[in-house]
Amino acid sequence: MKLWEKGINPEPAIIEFTAGKDRKTDLALTKWDIVGSMAHVIMLQDVGLISEEEKNGMLKALHSLFEWDEEGSLVIEKDVEDIHSQIEKEMSSILGTTGKKIHTGRSRNDQVLVDIRLYTREEIDKLSVHIRNLFIRLQDLSEQYKEELLPGYTHMQPAMVSSFGLWFGAWAECLADDIVMLAGARAINNQNPLGTAAGYGTTLPINRKLTSELLEFDDLLYNSAYASLSRGKIEMAVASALASVAQTLSRFSMDICIYMSSEYRFIDFPDEYVTGSSIMPQKRNPDVFELIRARCNVIQTLPNQIAILTSNLQSGYNRDLQLLKMLVFDAFGELRECIEIMLLMLNNIKVKKNITENSLYNTIFSTEEVNRLVKHGIPFRDAYKAVSEMVKNSSFSKTTLADYVHEGSIGNLCNKEIADLFEERMKPFINTSAAEFAEKMMKHVTA
């Protein structure tokens, strides 16, 4: 069954190739395709394109399809191209002629656009909760270990005194910026493309504002041609936000792999959380963090993949766009899995104490020695030169947390300020499920 069949039997190999992975990928969109269709039906009746009775029948049928999907019994059949076709097929078999009216005033192009945006909004909101959990854990660790000093590195060489408080807290503040990217992607995403049809509107008197309100979009995506252009653009915005989160997780994982190595041994995990080698009995490997690093590095290639996939397309719909779905859809789940396992590891992390007592790290206190002289009125460059002479043979007296007072230093982490910023930035994420939307739509059934 093809929605576009006109008496000629399509060649099966062509259908298989063009459907590609859609029969699987589109299952992520099912719930939202139904919710979008419910809003569309309510609007069609409101503008007089279908009767009240037809609206009631269609809403009830769509609600049953929603329930079938929840039970796992709604599938995309072998001869059906995608979820949009399957739902129209089901509607016709439940309602006969009335079911065939569901596609009035829309195209699969705006239908898939609205599905993707509703699905993406939900995924973004779910991801924000994961990021928040990780943020809170990192801040807790930062507070718990704020007294424990650590060498800070530049060029991978011991540089200055740092602390576990500063290190854990740095990754937390990194996430506070990632959340801004995610909120930006959410705002761009949260505009309604439904009603732009194939990309050039429709002569039917549809009410796009009404579907926008019903689906709780911030506004319309106005220009019909831009709506189809926005496919690829929206994925780019979302992928950039996901890449930003992935960058944080990947770089943090790299630090953990290094700090866990036997040359450093700054941190450790219980035996149950590390892996071994089939040949070397001594090995305790940080495989979890290596895999987070690898998976997040792959996610960071997404903006590039999207740019290349869309770079030579004429405006208007092109089938190439279909492949964007699996690229971005998979990345949400990947990131959530990485965050969950990272949280499990961080709940069991062990932090070594008194690391900077080791004479190996004596030189990290030399800059503070320079500052001591500066405080006595010696010009900085003269003080620097004097201390440079001492670097090889002397040990420097150790600075403590109390010596650092400015904002964002080891003695004044400002975790509270960062937490306030984070919570403020979390405000745009709302998290309304498809099931809640479906229930709201059913309130429009009048009999």
Please state the closest distance from residue 10 (CB atom) to ligand ARG, in A: 13
Is there binding between residue 321 and ligand ARG (CB under 6 A)? yes
Please state the closest distance from residue 8 (CB atom) to ligand ARG, in A: 16
List the x/- string, 17-36, binding to ligand ARG by CB under 6 A: -----x--------------
Q: What's the CA gap between 337 and 358, in Å, rounded?
A: 37
Give the 3-state secondary structure of residue 349.
coil
Write the burial class of residue 27 (CB in 10 Å: 0-12 exposed, 13-18 middle, 19+ buried).
middle
The residue from 40, 108, 208, 425 that contacts ligand ARG (CB under 6 A) is 108
Beta bridge partners of 275: 285
Please state the closest distance from residue 77 (CB atom) to ligand ARG, in A: 15
Q: Which of 120, 115, 111, 116 is nearest to 195 (CA)?
A: 111
**Residue whose pair of structure tokens reads 């065939």 in the numeric block:** 100
In sequence order, which residues have a C-beta less than 8 Å from that of residue 432 and are 6 or more positions away? 122, 125, 216
Is there binding between residue 322 and ligand ARG (CB under 6 A)? yes
By C-beta, is 201 or 408 nearer to ligand ARG?
201
Please state the closest distance from residue 107 (CB atom) to ligand ARG, in A: 7
Count of H-run helices and E-run strands, the chain: 16, 6
Q: Of all residues in this chain, which one has the CB nearest to ligand ARG in the complex?
A: 322
Mark the segment that binds ligand ARG (CB under 6 A) among 104-112, 238-246, 274-282, 359-367.
104-112
Q: Is the separation of the CB atoms in 266 and 336 below 8 Å?
A: no
By C-beta, is 112 or 227 nearer to ligand ARG?
112
Is there binding between residue 194 and ligand ARG (CB under 6 A)? no
Is there binding between residue 109 and ligand ARG (CB under 6 A)? yes
Q: What's the CA gap between 294 and 327, in Å, rounded?
A: 16
Q: What's the CA gap between 122 and 33, in Å, rounded?
A: 13
Is there binding between residue 121 and ligand ARG (CB under 6 A)? no
**Residue whose pair of structure tokens reads 């941190």 in the numeric block:** 267
Is there binding between residue 115 and ligand ARG (CB under 6 A)? no
Is there binding between residue 119 and ligand ARG (CB under 6 A)? no
Which residues in 298-317 contact ligand ARG (CB under 6 A)? 317
Please state the closest distance from residue 191 (CB atom) to ligand ARG, in A: 19
Q: Which of 295, 326, 296, 333 is nearest to 309 (CA)?
A: 326
**Residue whose pair of structure tokens reads 């995610």 in the numeric block:** 182
Is there binding between residue 82 and ligand ARG (CB under 6 A)? yes
By C-beta, is 128 or 224 nearer to ligand ARG?
224
Q: What's the CA gap between 115 and 137, in Å, rounded?
A: 34
Name the residues that contact ligand ARG, by CB under 6 A.
22, 82, 108-109, 112, 317, 319, 321-322, 325
